[in-house]
Homo-oligomer: A and B are copies of this chain.
Amino acid sequence: MRDEFFEKIRRELEEKEKMREEIIVKSRKVRLSSSKAIANVHREDLKAAEEYLNNALYLAEDLLNYREKHPDQFYLAHDALQELVEAYTFTHIVQELKIPERFPVSIPQALLPGMADCIGELRRFALTMMVKGESDEKIRKVVEIMEELYHILIEFDFHDRLTGNLRPKLDVARNSIERTKSDLLSAKLINLLDK
């Protein structure tokens, strides 16, 4: 009887080890497509960005199936899903100039840090617009959205293990917002002088 008990545990662990590898491989693909979507938004190739994003969303659906059956190993997928949230939120904001109403993932450890990292992408995007001399109005809107994201996230003051290490990411995000506002002053000045 004891032998069977341990044999059963061993079979379960073999299964779990296989699952781990599957989660790792599939997560890697989600992460790759997501980061290519972000890169293409920065290059202003929104069509390519959307294709990569849709691919990432498609792959993530499969990945999310592992959550039910192997909740204790699913932490392996968090980083990839966080990148997906970042890509999704960033693409949506650049296209619509507002924060999305729905998100592809509701796991806090992926959703919250993904949104926080999106603030950094928005700073990069705003800077490019400033260099190109685009209208203040749009850039100012982006800065407002950065603040709005920050205020949503600041409410999530929980243990780091529950929020995917949100706290340090929020410090970086706040710094990004400050520096973007400071740059916005310069950009405004340029536009005034150019008139």
Enumerate chain A interface residues (CB-CB to B < 8 A).
Answer: 1-2, 5-6, 9-10, 12-14, 16-17, 20, 32, 35, 39, 43, 71-75, 99-103, 106, 108, 111, 123-124, 127-128, 130-131, 140, 143, 147, 151-152, 154-159, 161-163, 171, 174-175, 177-179, 181-190, 192-194
> What is the chain B residue whose CB lies nearest that of A70?
B71
**Most chain B beta-carbon neighbours within 10 Å: one of A155, A171, A179, A186:** A186
A110 CB, nearest partner CB in chain B, Å: 11
Main secondary structure of the interface of A (DSSP, over half): helix
Q: For residue A71, which residues in chain B have a CB less than 8 angstroms away from its CB?
A: 71-72
Contact of A131 among B39, B156, B158, B178 (CB under 8 A): B178
Contact B182 A187 (CB under 8 A): yes
A161 CB, nearest partner CB in chain B, Å: 8
CA distance A123 to B2 in the complex (A): 23
Known: A39-B157, A178-B186. 5 other contacts (CB 8 A): A10-B156, A17-B158, A127-B175, A131-B178, A182-B182
